[in-house]
Chains A and B, each alone.
Chain A
Amino acid sequence: MTENGDATPLVRLEDVNKHFGNLHVLKDIQLTVDRGEVLVVIGPSGGGKSTLCRTINRLETIDSGTIVFDGEPLPAEGKALARLRSEVGMVFQSFNLFAHKTILENVTLGPIKVRGKARADAERRGMELLERVGIATQAEKYPAQLSGGQQQRTAIARALAMDPKMILFDEPTSALDPEMVQEVLDVMVGLARDGMTMVVVTHEMGFARRAANRVVFMADGQIVEENTPEEFFTNARTDRAKDFLSKILTH
């Protein structure tokens, strides 16, 4: 079912635990992400969703347990960790574009400096990606000159430029004005259709229904429920999930 016919999951988390001081933010997490799968992580604030997402490229370290990416345990540090991160794209809530670089430079920096691509090749590919996310005309501008939606689409192009094996989305639309949410979600739905492996922390039900293969509901540092999107939103199994959904679906 995947391009290389490999049936092993791309990511596997086993017994992952993490504390912030006294706060136990990840409790015995077991989770796999298959190749080509779109996994939506949903749940109340402070439930550990973002932390879970960030452990996968080790922006957060873990206290115990193992995380295996593409058959290899996550490297702890150094060059090996940098190489792993170059294969896992990340899109942040606050975009985090490099403010002193143009939109095109933001997209080409990784390919040139990390992958060692020639500038001309990186720029050609960068323009293709900017075209794909609909902001090719803004290539020479700086991040502060763009709207939030455009900045987030740039961030997606920046992640794609590394030809990642998967992309992590940490609440990609939470910092956007309402009218800009859709343009970002549309790009993400397109990626999902093209078979990109994605872990998406989000509250966007519409996206989950349209694009997700699976929904994981997290609360209090635990995975409370795993389900298909349709089942989860219409017929959640756990009371905790029902309670959460009743709060966000009623208005």
Chain B
Amino acid sequence: MDELIEYGPYLWEGFQVNLGLSAVCAVLSLVLGTILVSMRVSPTPVLRAAGTAYVNIVRNTPLTLILAFSALGLSDQIGLVFSEEPSTNGFWLVVMGLSAYTACFVCEALRSGINTVPFGQAEAARAIGLTFSQSLRMIILPQAFRAVISPLGSVMIAMIKNTTVAIAAGYLADVAFKMKDTFDTTGVSIPIFIGIALAFMAVILPIGLFTGWLAKRLAVAR
């Protein structure tokens, strides 16, 4: 217990990094996932093919590999640098890799949501003169989102926990790295394990409850 109290502030600093990564990745992956699903249902074959290829490649690659590729491949080899400051650069490399990865799952959740919207509504939207993108934006996606709030919650929960592999991008600041660092100096500590697990649960449990409540509240009556 003493280790947890002694290293608490140090670990808390790391946990805040996880929270920061989660917040930015949530926004980016929802935006990118929406763009991807729009591509996947678009009438343009090239966009459809590109969306499908992206999802199938990125979704089926291990996250640690994607993060390592972001850092070693894109940053070191190709020279994609977000910031001269290594820790800031690391943060954004993790954000990029994790958002790119999570967006695939957002896309697929939304795609199943689109399937819940009766096809006739898309026809009715076209019949009053809405363009494809208007009907997607105003009719299809709003209903698709409401249908998949719970699954999207699960995607976000997985993403939050996935921030703990940030170390794969060589970014040494998150709570998982700091835990390992602490264990290297003090030896393995059960209270530290439990403390970190509880911290994640404190963040994630409310998300599950909130999305469950929101899904009920926003359900589209048919």
Contact = CB atoms under 8 A, between A and B. Distances in A.
A100 B142 contact: yes
Interface in A85-100: 85-90, 92, 94-100
Residues of B in contact with A, size category: 20 to 34
Contact of B127 (A59, A95, A99): A59
Given A59-B127, A86-B128, A90-B127, A96 B118 contact: yes
Contacts, number: 77
A100 B134 CA distance: 15
A83 B129 CA distance: 6
Interface in B131-175: 131, 134, 138-139, 142-143, 146
Question: Looking at A96, A155, A162, which has the most chain B CB atoms within 10 Å of its CB?
Answer: A96
Contacts of A155: 124
A118 interface: no
A53 to B, nearest CB: 11
Residues of A in contact with B, size category: 20 to 34
A72 to B, nearest CB: 15
A109 interface: yes
A113 B138 contact: yes
Question: Looking at A87, A89, A96, A98, which has the most chain B CB atoms within 10 Å of its CB?
Answer: A98
A100 B146 contact: yes
Nearest to B221: A144
Nearest to B145: A100
B221 A82 contact: no
B220 A110 contact: no
A251 interface: no
A110 B117 CA distance: 19
B139 A98 contact: yes
Question: Looking at B123, B124, B138, which has the most chain A CB atoms within 10 Å of its CB?
Answer: B124
Contacts of A83: 129
7 contacts: A59-B123, A78-B131, A97-B124, A98-B124, A109-B130, A113-B134, A145-B221
Given A85-B129, A97-B124, 4 more contacts: A98-B125, A99-B121, A99-B221, A109-B128
